[in-house]
Amino acid sequence: MRKIKFRYIIAAIVLFLAIVCIHHTILIQKCSDITYAADYYTTTGIFNKYKLYKIDSYYIKFSDGHESTLVITGIKKTPPHSVVSYELTLIKSKSGIWKMKNIKEVPYKDTNFSTE
């Protein structure tokens, strides 16, 4: 009886670790897209003090293929849910994955993309 419980516990632990490993691998592959990486780094994380509820707009301020700076505008996750802008610097690793180097708040400007 004890051996059966022990086997179930070991199988559950192995299954949990396999799911976590697969999820991490998929997440890493998705971060090879700069828009997904910017969205991921600004909308997720428990201890992320720059966390956004959603991204309204973004534009690339600078990019040389290895390092990119994006200006992101969105709604803050914490109350009051004000509109803020962040300047996000991402660096591309050797494996092609975008990683966050720096993030800072910049003054919010109401961006109007109309061509008039």
pLDDT digits (tens, 9 = 90+) for 7-59: 999 999 999 999 999 988 888 888 889 999 999 999 998 898 889 998 999 89
Q: Which two tokens stand for residue 62?
A: 């600078």
For 56-103, the pLDDT digits (tens) are: 998 999 999 899 999 999 999 888 888 999 999 999 999 889 999 999
Residue with tokens 């092609």: 96
Does residue 116 carry a pLDDT above 60?
Answer: no
pLDDT category, 111, cuts 50, 70, 90? low
pLDDT number for residue 68: 94
3-state secondary structure of 84: strand
The one-letter amino acid at 67: E
Read off the pLDDT band of 112 (50, 70, 90).
low
Considering the chain, what is the average pLDDT of its residues? 88
pLDDT at 110: 62
Contact 107, 85 (CB under 8 A): yes
Name the pTM for this structure: 0.76
Query: Residues 12, 16, 21, CA angle at the centre, nearest 5°?
Result: 150
